[in-house]
Structure formats: C-alpha cells, structure tokens
Amino acid sequence: MSASIRFLMCAPEFYDVDYVINPWMEGNIHKSSRDRAMEQWQNLFHIIKENATVDLVPPQRGVPDMVFTANAGLVLEDRVVLSRFYHKERQGEEPFFKAWFEEQGYQVFELPKELPFEGAGDALLDREGRWLWAGYGFRSELDSHPYLAKWLDIEVLSLRLMDERFYHLDTCFCPLANGYLLYYPPAFDAYSNRLIEMRVPANKRITVDETDAVNFACNAVNINQLIIMNKASDELKQRLSDVGFQVVETPLTEFLKAGGAAKCLTLRVTEPIIPLHHAAAAVESRVIHLEGHLLDSGLINRALDLIVEGGGSFQVLNFRLGEQRQSTSSAEIRVTAPDHAVMETLMSQLIDMGAVAQPQEVCDNPLETVTKDGVAPDDFYVTTIYPTEVRVNCEWVPVQNQRMDGAIVVSHTPEGVRAECKLLRDLKVGDRVIVGVEGIRTVRKPEVREQRGSQPEFGFMGSGVSSERRVELIVEQIAWELRKLRDQGGKVVVTAGPVVIHTGGGEHLARLIREGYVQALLGGNAIAVHDIEQAIMGTSLGVDMKRGVSVRGGHRHHLKVINTIRRCGSIRAAVEQGVLKSGVFYECIQHNVPFSLAGSIRDDGPLPDTQMDLIKAQEEYARLIRGADMILMLSSMLHSIGVGNMTPAGVKMVCVDINPAVVTKLSDRGSVESVGVVTDVGLFLSLLVQQLDRLTSPYREAQLA
C-alpha cells in the first residue's frame, strides 16, 4: 500500500437522491436504499484503504451529494481551488469543504462568485503531471480555466463536454498511470477529441463503448496499476490487463442513481507537482461590443449561440436595453475560447454579425508586413462583403474596395491613411496587412439585422397558385427598381448563363439591353455561343428555338458558330461585318454595353472574346461590377457565386434559378439586399419585360394620373 497517496471521502450517512440536477437523477428521487448505499460505499472505502490512506470529512445533513468529494475542489500539492457549484442544491457543501481544507493547512483559492467550477469532477491531472485536463460545457465555466492555470501554475487543456449524461469530465474521462487514458470519445466535441488525440498517442488511448460508459467505467480510481470501478465489460478488462492494469469491480449502483460512481466518491488530496511542466492555459478571452435591435432581431441570441456552438463560452458584462421601440440596445460580452484558433474563428463570425472586439482598447490594429508577393501573414484578417472599418491612430478608417475573401492593407499616403481590401495574389512585399481581429468593425444597418431571414425565397414552378402570385409581386418590384435605376442613371449588372437562351429568355434579355436597363453583362463562353447560335442558325445547342425540336446535325451548330466568329476576329467584328444581326451580344455591341466572358475548362472553341486567363477574367468582372446598384443573376451558379464574392454588401442582388440550392447559397450572404427567385429564367424574363411594358403603357399612366 502507498501510505503517501491520500484520498478524501465522505460517508453516505445523509445520502439520498433529493433533487434532479443531472439526467441520472431523473425518476430516482428517494429511490436509493441508504443501507445498500452504505454497504457499497464501505466496500469501496476498504478497497481504497488497502492501497492508500483515506481521510474523512464529516457528512452533513441537508447536502446529500456531499458524498461526492471529487467535487470538493481541485488539489495540487498544498494548494486547493475550491468548487463553486453550478446548482444551488449543492452550494451548501462549499463551506464544509472549505473548512476541511483550511484545517489541513492547504492554501485555499476561491474563484469569483458566479464563476462555476466543480473541482476534480471537472479537472483531472495527467498522471504524469504534465498538464491538467479541464472540462466545461455543463457545470464548470470555461472562464474558470485561466484561474486554474494561474493558481496552480500548470498547463490547462480545455475539453468541451457534449452529452448531458456525462456532465462532469470524470464521468467519461480517466487519465491512468504511465500516460494511458481511459475515455468515451462521443462525450466530447470534435475539437476536444482532436486535442486529446494530439496529446495522447494512439497506443495509450483506451476508448470505451457506450455500454461501459453508462456503467461509469471511466469514473474509476486509479492507484498505480490498480483501477477501481463500478463495472466493466470483459473486453474492457482484457484491454486494460493487456497494458498492465488490474481492474477491481465494486458495485456502486446506489450512487449511479445520483449520477456518480467510484471516482466521484473520492478526491485524491496528494497530487504532487512534477517540476518542469509549468505552463499557462491556452484559454483566451476578449470583450466584444454589440449594438442594434439586439432583442427584436434575435441578434443577441444568435451571437451567444454562435459562441457556445463554436466551443467558447460567454459572460454578459453589460446590457443596456433600448428604451423605446426604435432605440437600439447595446451589450458588452466577454467571450472565452479554449485556445487561440477557436477564438479567431469565433471572433471573425461575431464581427460578421456586427460585433466589435475591444473597441476602446485598440488604437491601431496589429499589422504585419508581407514578406513574399502574393502571400499574407498567417493571422491575416479575412474580409467579408460588409463595409468594414479599422483602427488607425485611434480613429476608425473605412476600408476601400470592400469585397469578401481579401486582406486589408493599410498605407500612409500623402492624402492620409488608406485601408483597402486586396486579394492575396495582389499583395506585394512590404504591404502592411491587418492581422487578428481586434479593432475591426463591420458597419451594418440596424434594419439589416432586423429583416434578416424574413425575406423568403420565392418559389414558383413547383408550388401552388399563391407563389405564382409571389413571383409576380417580386417581378413587379424588380421592374419598378429597374425603371428607377435606368431613369436615374444607375448601374445594373447582369450575370447570365446559357440557360437564359435555352429557355427562350434571350429575346427578353436582348430587349432589356436595347432599352437601356443593363449597364454590363457578365457570363462565360456558353451564353455567348448559344446566343449567337440562335441569332445565326435559329437553334440553341442544336434545338430549334421556334419549334422546340432537335435539328438534324444541330449539335454541330455551336461549333460552326464559334468558327464563324473566330473567322471574323471577335463578336464586335462579326456585328460590324454584318454577320451577327440580332441577339443579346448584338445588342451589347450596338448599345456599348461592356461584357466580359470568363472561360472555363469545358469551353468549346473558345470564342475570341472569351478570357481564358482566369485572373484577367476576375479582374474584368471586378472592374465591371464596380459601382453597381443592382445585380441580376440569371441561372449561372458559377458566375453568380463568383460575382457574389466580389460584391460588397449594399448592392441589391436578385438571383433567379430553377435550382433552389443556388438561390439559397446566394441568399446566404446574409444581407437583405439579396432576393432569391426559384423559377424558370425564361419565364422570369418574359414576366419582367411584360411588367416593364405595363409601367410605360398609356393605360398605366392614365391609372397613375
């Protein structure tokens, strides 16, 4: 026996299931037998006593869970961090445990009030003393972990618990001698599992299945080669004995009714410090500021959910409720994440929602210098479509050329400070790039948040009469907007796929161009080929557009057309030579509407106008999009998504596609400005043109007058 190893236990004199604070207790109120509990506890006590020294803390009436001494606190050498119970039902135990530790001469650390931490139930030392595994998610707060690291001077690895049956770390996780680990992986989130796998080599990880897990096999007391537990399958016993452990089973069923077993009933109070392993917690925390219609819009809920779902935790430091319906609310929230990588991910998502990280404290965003052309510093802030501002000299500077998936470069020019979005490939050695997420804010209109999600996608084809009416309504709005933009000299950009031509929409699009509704056209090789095929040969991919039937040999038409244009030299040349006399691209040339055709791997030909250098094509697109007020995306997933990525928020986008997935993907930009219409694009265009006609008809004018 190792007399130097000591455990603290508490006899179950007053033990019972009196309340429900975990799923095991449900249905078990007053269902446990105190006699049987006493007998089971005595058996455990004797087994441990044969192998170590046992100290006892006197049981107390009214705190039935005090038998679970694992929750008294967390001990390392002569220091103890006392528990702060999450549930009021157990808070009554705190003074008794505190008194015991003080009597024994421990240096006692107490966490701030309202910061739950449940001792060795949620914090387990690596048996080699290299670090502390600390659980969070149900009982202990992630924010308690930095205190553990500081007071105990040890590296803390935070693990997030996901299954409420395993609400304490020690219910599903048990570090063993010689670096082995007994645990139930599904109790943890993916990130925590990765962390475990990084720290514990595969040959040292002993995973249990659900049957063993619900028998509390992981809630074991390990003394050197001995493992004491409620129950284990033969298979698990075998695996443990294969690596040199001896399993002793002792039934603890009465305690299972309260959600505890062997380990919970003990607290190892001699945990030696193994020198050389001092380190701090990777846990980080930041304060963010949120402002807007936080409650009405559900923004606050979304932000808090995002933090928790992303593996962090939060504390609301401050909440000022807007007094009137129209006044906004604001909140300060402390976000804590188990490490830097998780923090960065959380913060960028929160910034997308309009949160600002530590606004007051940052005078200048941290910058790093580009050392290789086209490559950003590792930690660079990835931009979004939302208007963004950054801190320079303690002031907010708006970022130019906003687009998503770029980096922000800050420079000092004679005209003053300039911050601008740059694509990775455009970065040059010496550029100063913003890294991290502090002192960055995205400027969102409060209404933007409020309306989000309230813009439905408009179904047409598949669904009932009412949605036909809805498409009509949305077409009316778009027509109205197009008319307004045209009359005010606005800019409308159209991206279109070949389906526009196949579905008979070509003539309508051509008309929109002819009548001045379109200021730029973006597409690929295919739309131009099919438009010209239709103009010259009357077919689209070999299908007669008037009769809707395939023409013999028609599949060659499009290549003939490509060849014809190649002979002319360009689409413009074909128009000038009188070869091309109608269609979408004919109108573009006639009305000086610039277009850009981006090439792809599947293009036939291509047409001389198709830009096969994709970087150049992206640049042309970006140039044509600049200053757009509205973008009409007509059945081209590829080009529409590309355009979506280049376009800052605030530009109205209308995405029309028969495939709801495409529409959803684009509406996911999360801006109200985008409207999705699920319908046949040919039909949509014909409705749109009709509607525009109606706007000008004398009948309509008479009606308006």
Q: Which residues carry out catalysis?
A: 168, 264
Residue 697 gets which letter from DSSP?
S
Question: What are phi and psi for residue 547, nearest 5 degrees?
Answer: -100, -10
Distance CA 284, CA 305 (A): 18
- Closest approach of Cβ 64 to ligand ARG, in Å? 8
Please report whether residue 215 would count as binding ligand ARG according to CB under 6 A. no
Applying CB under 6 A, the span of 167-175, 522-530, 578-586, 692-700 interacting with ligand ARG comes to 167-175
Q: Which of 93, 126, 141, 170 binds ligand ARG (CB under 6 A)?
A: 170
Enumerate residues 6+ apart whose C-beta is below 8 A from 604: 525, 529, 558, 559, 562
Please report whether residue 523 would count as binding ligand ARG according to CB under 6 A. no
* Sign of the CA dihedral running 698, 478, 483, 513: negative
Which secondary-structure segment (H or E) carries 671?
Answer: none
Q: Is 104 exposed, middle or buried (0-12, 13-18, 19+ CB in 10 A)?
A: middle
Q: Return the number of the residue (252 or 434) whose C-beta is nearest ligand ARG.
A: 252
Q: Please, where are the H alpha helices in 105-158?
A: 145-152
Please report whether residue 260 would count as binding ligand ARG according to CB under 6 A. yes
What is the identity of the amino acid at 637? M
Q: Which of 68, 180, 188, 585 binds ligand ARG (CB under 6 A)?
A: 68
Q: Please, where are the H alpha helices in 121-278?
A: 145-152, 190-199, 210-214, 234-242, 253-256
Please report whether residue 228 would count as binding ligand ARG according to CB under 6 A. no
- Closest approach of Cβ 92 to ligand ARG, in Å? 12
Q: Return the number of the residue (65 or 189) whose C-beta is nearest ligand ARG.
A: 65
Distance CA 705, CA 296 (A): 40
Enumerate residues 6+ apart whose C-beta is below 8 A from 179: 126, 127, 128, 200, 201, 204
Q: Return the number of the residue (32 or 618) whose C-beta is nearest ligand ARG.
A: 32
Q: Return the number of the residue (118 or 680) whose C-beta is nearest ligand ARG.
A: 118
- Closest approach of Cβ 87 to ligand ARG, in Å? 7
Q: Return the number of the residue (68 or 131) whose C-beta is nearest ligand ARG.
A: 68
Please report whether residue 171 would count as binding ligand ARG according to CB under 6 A. yes
Applying CB under 6 A, the span of 48-56, 238-246, 259-267, 581-589 interacting with ligand ARG comes to 259-267
Q: Which of 79, 127, 160, 168 binds ligand ARG (CB under 6 A)?
A: 168
Please report whether residue 163 would count as binding ligand ARG according to CB under 6 A. no
- Closest approach of Cβ 312 to ligand ARG, in Å? 23
Distance CA 534, CA 523 (A): 17
Q: Which of 5, 7, 16, 65 binds ligand ARG (CB under 6 A)?
A: 65
> Under rule CB under 6 A, which residues in 107-146 are in contact with ligand ARG?
121
Q: Considering all CA atoms of the chain, what is the largest pairwise distance in Å, rounded to the nearest integer?
A: 104
As given in the structure block, the two tokens for residue 157 are 């690895």
Applying CB under 6 A, the span of 62-70, 102-110, 345-353, 463-471 interacting with ligand ARG comes to 62-70
Applying CB under 6 A, the span of 67-75, 180-188, 343-351, 470-478 interacting with ligand ARG comes to 67-75
* Among 591, 370, 565, 580, CA closest to 486: 591
- Closest approach of Cβ 280 to ligand ARG, in Å? 25
Q: Which of 259, 292, 359, 523 binds ligand ARG (CB under 6 A)?
A: 259
- Closest approach of Cβ 191 to ligand ARG, in Å? 22
Q: Which residue number is nearest to ligand ARG in terms of Cβ? A: 121
Q: Omega before 660 cis (within 30°)? A: no
Q: Return the number of the residue (174 or 307) whose C-beta is nearest ligand ARG.
A: 174
Enumerate residues 6+ apart whose C-beta is below 8 A from 47: 228, 248, 250
Applying CB under 6 A, the span of 125-133, 164-172, 588-596, 629-637 interacting with ligand ARG comes to 164-172
Q: Which of 10, 45, 73, 90 binds ligand ARG (CB under 6 A)?
A: 90
Applying CB under 6 A, the span of 45-53, 166-174, 611-619, 671-679 interacting with ligand ARG comes to 166-174
Distance CA 188, CA 167 (A): 10
Please report whether residue 222 would count as binding ligand ARG according to CB under 6 A. no
* Among 258, 316, 276, 18, CA closest to 121: 258
Please report whether residue 22 would count as binding ligand ARG according to CB under 6 A. yes
Please report whether residue 71 would count as binding ligand ARG according to CB under 6 A. yes
Distance CA 283, CA 275 (A): 22
Backbone conformation region of residue 632, classed left if phi is above 0, alpha if psi is from -120 to 50, else beta: beta
Tell me how many helices (H) and strands (E) the chain has.
23, 36
Collapsing DSSP to helix, strand or coil, 621 comes out as helix
Applying CB under 6 A, the span of 95-103, 168-176, 437-445, 598-606 interacting with ligand ARG comes to 168-176
- Closest approach of Cβ 43 to ligand ARG, in Å? 18
Q: Are 429 and 370 in contact (CB under 8 A)?
A: yes
Q: Which of 5, 10, 21, 370 binds ligand ARG (CB under 6 A)?
A: 21
List interacting residues with ligand ARG (CB under 6 A): 21-22, 65, 68, 70-71, 90, 121, 168, 170-171, 258-260, 264
